[in-house]
Amino acid sequence: MPSAATESIVTRLLEAFAAHFGAPAPAVVARAPGRVNLIGDHTDYNDGFVLPITLDRAVYLAVRPRPDREVRLLSLNFEETIRFEIGTSPTEAPRWAAYVQGVVTELHRHALLPSGFEGVLYGDVPLGSGLSSSAALEVATLVTLQHLFGFAMSGEEAARLCQYVEHTYAGVQCGIMDQFAARLGRRGHALFLDCRSLAYRHVPVHLKDWLFVIIDSRAPRELAASRYNERRAECEAGVAFFRRFDPEIRALRDVSPELLWAHPDQPTPTIWRRCRHVVEENRRVQEAVVDLEQDRLEAFGQRMNASHDSLRDLYEVSSPALDLIVDTARQVEGVLGARLTGAGFGGCTVVLVHRDALPELEQRVARAYEATFGRQPAFYPLDHNVEAGPIWPETAALPVSSTSEGDEAGASEE
């Protein structure tokens, strides 16, 4: 059953479609969700582990085929239309066109597009907040076209294609997590992903009376890019150091806690602390997965806290705004854990809270944040997360090639 929010978005898409393109109705409406990483930050580029969960917010497309090779798409978020011939660039394209056109061009290169198409696009994933509206847009475009034209493509292939689009057409050198989560994340589950092998497991999330709430600091992220590059370089320096003791070490993923603690403060105290964060965070993600599988929410919350403290003290990517939200949240009775999520220096936090305590959490964080920073954070309580796929008309499962699609087919739950 689609939620009320989903239904109203579909209605809006169908109305806009009719107004803009006329009859007949779109052949397919499909979507792909944004994501939030529950634990495991700055581990991805160290070949480590992450645990994202999809949101109940997504990017939606309503489309029908065209008899020619043209693409026409109206964005309801931007109230503008793009138009281009398959295989060419849109003229005077807005930025959002790059994601769509990138996916279209790559599918065209694989000879998967029999014709053009036209339709309407809308998303309720906040743009540019670190909840990966860009991956949602790429994956939504791909999945919608997959349903429209019926071609087969595995989830892994689709995620990689979308990552390639983000690198090549949007110029953002992201890891694979966002596209993987948007395409392969499953309702009722988090996605445990090994960023080296890309092996993954759907971890059932039984939250009962608890829920995750994303709190967006809405703080500018000026330092983010330069500090991100600095951290990557520090990790590389750590790998170079630890390789001297074991040539098999290719990434911090391969450094054991024993080796780490055998060389405290080396090669420098700062680099050692960065390495310690990554080594321990990888372990925390694996332990947190077991917590979820065994319904130990309290333990899971404590690992969220430990993760934040490590990102703040060892990896030094938190900020006064993120710390204030996390500290205030932790003082609320009914909060099991709170941490920054994503690269840090602004962006979002994620909190695990009892349903009854949600109003108090929102009130206290809003008040404290406003008093210190003079603006309001944004709250996104995560109810029933969703997965990529068609929502209108209700159709069969996504066509995939015969190769692996997850590990527990049919285990999806409501």
The smaller minimum CB distance to ligand ADP, of residues 93 and 299, is found at 93
Among 124, 178, 216, 291, which one carries the catalytic annotation?
178
Q: Indicate which single residue of 75, 101, 134, 141 sits in contact with Mg ion (rule: CB under 5 A).
A: 134
C-beta nearest to ligand ADP: residue: 123
CB of 103 to ligand ADP, least distance (A): 12
Please, which residues have CB within 8 angstroms of residue 216's CB and are 6 or more apart in sequence? Answer: 126, 129, 130, 131, 347, 348, 377, 378, 379, 380
Interacting partner of 346 out of ligand ADP, Mg ion, none (Cβ under 5 to 8 A depending on kind): none
Q: Amino acid identity, residue 175?
A: G
Determine the distance from the C-alpha atom of residue 336 to the mean position of all C-alpha atoms in its chain, rounded to a whole number. 22
- Which structure tokens are listed for 343? 């690269």
Q: How many helices (H) and strands (E) does the chain have?
A: 11, 13
Of 303, 300, 257, the residue nearest 278 (C-alpha): 257
CB of 135 to Mg ion, least distance (A): 6
Of 100, 137, 120, the residue nearest 14 (C-alpha): 120
Annotate each residue in 167-206 with x if it binds ligand ADP (CB under 6 A) or - if it does not, as one string.
-----x----------------------------------
Annotate each residue in 131-170 with x if it binds ligand ADP (CB under 6 A) or - if it does not, as one string.
xxxx--x---------------------------------
57/60 Cα distance (integer angstroms): 10
Q: Are 32 and 344 a contacting pair, CB within 8 Å?
A: no
Instruction: Indicate the DSSP class of residue 244.
Output: T
CB of 342 to Mg ion, least distance (A): 10
Residue 178 is among the residues annotated as catalytic for this protein: yes
Q: Indicate which single residue of 46, 129, 319, 341 sits in contact with ligand ADP (rule: CB under 6 A).
A: 129
The stretches of 294-382 forming alpha helices (DSSP H) are 297-313, 320-330, 358-373
Of 147, 83, 138, 143, the residue nearest 116 (C-alpha): 83
164/110 Cα distance (integer angstroms): 14
Binding to ligand ADP (CB under 6 A) within 3-62 occurs at 59
Q: Is 63 in the site for ligand ADP (CB under 6 A)?
A: no
Total residues at interface with ligand ADP (CB under 6 A) = 20
CB of 132 to ligand ADP, least distance (A): 4
The smaller minimum CB distance to Mg ion, of residues 136 and 235, is found at 136
What is the pairing mode between strands 189-194 and 348-354? unpaired
Q: Indicate which single residue of 87, 128, 264, 320 sits in contact with ligand ADP (rule: CB under 6 A).
A: 128
CB of 164 to Mg ion, least distance (A): 14
CB of 240 to ligand ADP, least distance (A): 31
Determine the distance from the C-alpha atom of residue 362 to the mean position of all C-alpha atoms in its chain, rounded to a whole number. 23
- Which structure tokens are listed for 220? 């500018």
Give the interface with ligand ADP as residue ranges (CB under 6 A).
59, 75, 77-78, 95-96, 99, 121-123, 127-134, 137, 172
Give the interface with Mg ion as residue ranges (CB under 5 A).
134
Q: Which residues are catalytic?
A: 178
